[in-house]
Chain A
Amino acid sequence: MILKGFFIILLHWVAGNVISALAADFIPGSIIGMLLLLCSLLLGLVKDDDVRPVAGFLTDNMTIFFLPAFMGIMDLWGILKLDLLAWIAVIILSTVMVLISTGIVQQLLERRKNL
């Protein structure tokens, strides 16, 4: 049932918000909610089939939920165009660095384990 799945997700979000507030908003409540949902699923408190219809729909169609925020870039264009090249350069370099470092560490650790 869709509503049940939605209720479970909101419940974990709310619980995440409470914990987040107690921890001085160190981590956003929704991210704590994600970990709480994982715990509930692992502990069997929530059946995965109860959340799957809603959670699956949300994660499969994530793009639509940030389309409105994307349009906010129109107002930012003034500042962005001045630093356009630096902005793109930072993203290119940083992305490649993350990709290579993650891959190398994982491969090295796997090899050590297999020796």
Chain B
Amino acid sequence: MMKTEFVMNMPFMLMLTIGSYLLGLWVKKKSGLALLHPFLISIPVIIMVLKVTDVPCSFYMESNRLIDFMLGPCVVSLGLLLYDHRHIIRRNFLSIMSAVMTGSVVGVASVYILSRLMGLDDIFILSLEPKSVTTPIAMELSESIGGNISLTAVSVVLCGFIGAVSGPLCLQLFRIKSPVAKGLAMGSAAHGLGTARAVEMGAIEGAVSGLAIALMGVMTALILPLFNSILSL
């Protein structure tokens, strides 16, 4: 069997994270599928390697603190994304802000109401409320309101897939034809994955969707604590 001292260490665990991500990127590029998210490859690879080497999952997570730390800088970096799209915001400031605020309120309130109806625990509500927001922001929000960040991360990605897959059909059904509205809807509901789909619809849709990712993050960060303090969650 394999000697554990060669794998039970930080370099190996970091190498596993970066290597599995690179493999995911490579497979995505080769397949040419926009919806083949790299983590669909990375996660099974990490699980498999941990199983084969007999390393506990907790050790893996502990060794990857360095990677976790980068989530903060990731969130701050989104400021540049907002800056790059400042012209679109300036031109449609009021409508974009109102639409994103609506989306954000609907996102938080619908999670609360639906979860209560289906009898889910509070931990589900707290972890799911930020689910329409891009993962690093969602995890920050989840942590600050007392949710489970792992459950949030998985929910965010699931939400992204659902939005990206069902988005074009929903937009058609409700006769949403304006390019700005389409982009905003895709980005607000399904963050990065929705944006990948919006880019295929057109240049305006793609740009607006990218912008909606950051705006939705800010708006939800404002609304979420207000909403929860009113309901004393």
List residues of chain A with CB under 8 Å of any chain B CB: 6, 9-10, 12-13, 16, 25-31, 33-38, 41-42, 48, 51-52, 54-56, 58-59, 61-76, 79-80, 83, 86-107, 109-110, 113
Bound-complex Cα distance A9 to B222 (A)? 22
CB-nearest residue of chain A to B163: A95
Enumerate chain A residues within 8 angstroms of B102, measured Cβ to Cβ.
101-102, 105
Quick one: which of B181-232 are within 8 Å of A by CB? 181-182, 184-186, 188-190, 192, 194, 212, 214, 217-218, 221-222, 225
Enumerate chain A residues within 8 angstroms of B57, measured Cβ to Cβ.
71-72, 74-75
Select which of A37, A51, A58, A79 is within 8 A of B70 by beta carbon. A58
Chain B contact residue count (CB 8 A cutoff) = 107
- Indicate if the CB atoms of B139 and A63 lie closer than 8 Å: no
- Indicate if the CB atoms of B150 and A91 lie closer than 8 Å: no
What are the interface flags for B156-176 relative to A under an 8 Å C-beta threshold, 1 for contact and 0 otherwise?
A: 011100110011001100101
List residues of chain B with CB under 8 Å of any chain A CB: 17-18, 20-21, 24, 37-39, 42-43, 46-47, 57-58, 60-61, 64, 67-68, 70-84, 86, 92, 94-96, 98-100, 102-104, 106-107, 110-111, 114-115, 118-121, 123-124, 128, 131-132, 134-137, 139-141, 143-144, 148-151, 153-155, 157-159, 162-163, 166-167, 170-171, 174, 176-178, 180-182, 184-186, 188-190, 192, 194, 212, 214, 217-218, 221-222, 225
Select which of B68, B84, B141, B159 is within 8 A of A91 by beta carbon. B159
With contacts A62-B134, A66-B139 taken as known, whether A107 is within 8 angstroms of B153 at the C-beta atoms is no
